[in-house]
Amino acid sequence: MTGDFNAGILNEVAHRPWPLPAGPWLMTQTWHDLLFAHWTMDPLLLRRHVPEVFPLDLFEGRAWVGVVPFYMTNVGPRGVPSLPWVSEFPELNVRTYVTVDGKPGVFFFSLDAGSLVAVTAARAWLNLPYHVASMEIRQSGDGINYRSTRRDDSGARFEATYEPVGGVFVPIDGTLEHFLTERYCLYQLSHSGAPFRLDIHHPPWPLQRAQATIAANTMLDVHGLAVIDESPLLHFSKRQDMVAWAPDRL
């Protein structure tokens, strides 16, 4: 293992909702300075934007969509050394929550990244809706200044300053914070239109409450996602190490 990736996470499994996959994991990522910004949506409206094969996962009857900016390091296949110009870049996700066969996961509307290599590879291998973006992250004390503009005709933008508030806590099963963050797979359609699940693993999320000033956010608008309340629910996490497996067709 190269870089500062914490390989010990593979021994921390008591919190998982299902066992680790039987096959070997294939890649690592380390996520830094994440903001989880979540809004509620009408489930009937959200249903129009998610493939029918993926049932929506609701919390007390409410649907949620999230915008999650962060920075990644240690991105690469198992056994391949990290390369600064390939394995480190900013990313910005737009996501919601679905569940299949009792396994709750994430469905991505889009993933913007500051790396053409990562975008090309993810689109080719997994058909994930990645987009190249011009991105800038600056740290000021405990705060993060984050800017992203998609490099296509949509010009989808996100610009915010955010920081943690209060101490670190691990979300408790059954709470909204647990519902929004503790997910160990993603769901997507392959190039042929077949649904698949991709398992991941990481320790329990070390969360903090957050505050943010969002100066621009058209990340939801470009997907036609109309939220109920304009005030987001905000959480912060300083770091998370993860591993991922190959996708399994459903």
Helices (H), 182-246: none
For 79-111, b where at least 16 C-beta lie within 10 A, e where not — what string?
eeebeeeebbbbbbbbbbbbbbeeebbbbbbbb
Q: Does residue 3 lie in a domain region?
A: no
pLDDT at 90: 97
Q: Does residue 56 lie in a domain region?
A: yes
Q: What is the CATH number of the domain that holds 83?
A: 2.40.400.10
Q: Does residue 11 lie in a domain region?
A: no
Half-sphere exposure (CA, 13 Å, Cβ side) for 155?
2
- Domain hosting 38: range is 24-249
Q: Does residue 8 lie in a domain region?
A: no
- Output the 3-class SS for 133-193: EEEEEEEECCEEEEEEEECCCCCCEEEEEEEEEEEEECCCCCCHHHHHHCCCEEEEECCCC
Contact partners, residue 94, CB within 8 Å, separation at least 6: 65, 66, 67, 68, 108, 109, 110, 111, 219, 220, 223, 225
DSSP state for residue 66 in the 8-state scheme: E
Q: Using CB atoms within 10 Å of the CB of residue 145, give its burial: 0 to 12 exposed, 13 to 18 middle, 19+ buried.
A: middle
pLDDT along the chain (250 residues), means of 10: 80 97 96 98 97 98 98 92 82 98 98 94 94 96 95 96 98 98 98 98 98 98 94 97 97
Q: Does residue 146 lie in a domain region?
A: yes
Structure tokens at 170: 């691990």
| pTM across the whole model | 0.96
Q: How many domains does the chain have?
A: 1
Question: In angstroms, rounded to a whole number, what is the distance separating the alpha carbons of residues 159 and 67?
Answer: 11
Question: In angstroms, rounded to a whole number, what is the distance separating the alpha carbons of residues 152 and 128?
Answer: 17
pLDDT at 2: 46
Widest pairwise Cα distance in the chain: 47
Q: Determine what percent of the chain falls in helix, strand and coil, rounding each to the nearest 5.
A: 15, 50, 35
Q: Does residue 138 lie in a domain region?
A: yes
Q: Does residue 18 lie in a domain region?
A: no
Helices (H), the chain: 43-47, 84-87, 116-126, 176-181
pLDDT at 147: 98
Q: Does residue 37 lie in a domain region?
A: yes
pLDDT at 171: 98
